[in-house]
Amino acid sequence: RVRRKIQLVDFLLSFRWIIVIFFVLPFSFLYYFSIYLGDMQSERKSYKQRQMEHDENVKEVVKRLGQRDATKDGLVCTARPPWVVVGMRNVDYKRARHFEVDLSKFRNILEIDTERMIARCEPLVNMAQISRVTIPMNLSLAVLAELDDLTVGGLINGFGVEGSSHIFGLFSDTVVALEVVLADGKVVRATKDNEYSDLFYAIPWSQGTLGLLLSAEIKLIPVDQYVKLTYKPVRGNLKELAQAYADSFAPKRW
Ligand SMILES: *[C@@H]1O[C@H](CO)[C@@H](O)[C@H](O)[C@H]1NC(C)=O
């Protein structure tokens, strides 16, 4: 048998733990810690202040879009670097000529409306941030994605799904209004039944191609402190398995 020659890549593979432990781990820690500090800073601001900042930041985005020369500048996209994105999407378009709009300030929870049972969030609000605020109020997003660093914007423009989705649908199905800035700088609020309803239904899974999301109003549900999970093994033929699966979808509380 011919022995394969040991190549550099084999060497790197067997010593990858050095890179993981001494570089990737410390870097990840610092990265997540900086996000956490930013979240804390956001939580210290009053809702009123966050809403004021939101209005200011929206104005800045509109101004930035106004600077775009459609004949020279490339397509509009966010300035978010591709390496922070959680997903399998190919982000090569960010290597091509493009016109960046910085949305990094859009990371505040703007309102928790306990009467309408709505959380109004900016797109970079992450799941850890929202559960830290709503869980002590005995509330939760109807579909709360389990990975802490997933963002509202990603879960809407991409797609989000979690265990409770078999009752409430995808993350985007729990959204009741979207505030979007269109390519021409117009800011609109799209809902199921207003004049921008086409946009409301088209934004989920659009990967940010139709406009930049500025905030979203998302359904909240009351939650208890603990979740009781029942695992129910099912045995039988395909038909019985399928029936048991279908039965598990029957909403019990809502
Ligand atoms: C949340 O629920 C717990 C347990 O039922 C209760 O003790 C607590 O007062 C509730 N908190 C709020 C803010 O309603």
Tell me the average pLDDT across 98-104.
91
pLDDT of 232-254, one tens digit each? 899 999 999 998 888 877 655 54
Tell me the average pLDDT across 182-197.
93
Helices 25-44 and 127-134 cross at an angle (nearest 10°) of 40
Distance CA 27, CA 23 (A): 6
Residue 254 is predicted with a pLDDT of 45
Q: 138 C-alpha vs ligand 1 centroid, how far in Å?
A: 6
CA angle centred on 65, ends 217 and 213, rounded to 5°: 15
Task: State both tokens at 25.
Answer: 């781990």
Does the pLDDT of residue 212 top 50, yes or no?
A: yes
Task: Decide: 248 in ligand 1 pocket, CB within 6 A.
Answer: no
Distance CA 122, CA 110 (A): 7
Task: Decide: 21 in ligand 1 pocket, CB within 6 A.
Answer: no
Nearest to 220 by CA among 111, 134, 158: 134
Alpha helix stretches (DSSP H) within the chain: 8-14, 16-19, 25-44, 47-66, 127-134, 152-157, 165-168, 197-202, 238-247
Task: State both tokens at 26.
Answer: 């410390």
Task: Decide: 137 in ligand 1 pocket, CB within 6 A.
Answer: yes
State the DSSP code for 92: G
Task: Decide: 138 in ligand 1 pocket, CB within 6 A.
Answer: yes
Closest C-alpha residue for ligand 1 atom 10: 138
Tell me the average pLDDT across 204-227.
92
pLDDT of 57-93, one tens digit each? 999 999 999 999 888 888 888 888 888 877 777 777 7
> CB of 178 within 8 A of CB of 216?
yes
Distance CA 12, CA 230 (A): 45
Distance CA 98, CA 77 (A): 7
Residue 250 is predicted with a pLDDT of 67
Who has greater pLDDT, 183 or 22? 22
Residue 129 is predicted with a pLDDT of 95
Does the pLDDT of residue 214 top 70, yes or no?
A: yes
pLDDT of 3-57, one tens digit each? 778 788 888 889 999 999 999 999 999 999 999 999 999 999 999 999 999 999 9
Q: Which atom of ligand 1 is nearest to the CA of 137?
A: 13
Does the pLDDT of residue 1 top 80, yes or no?
A: no
Q: Which atom of ligand 1 is nearest to the CA of 136?
A: 13
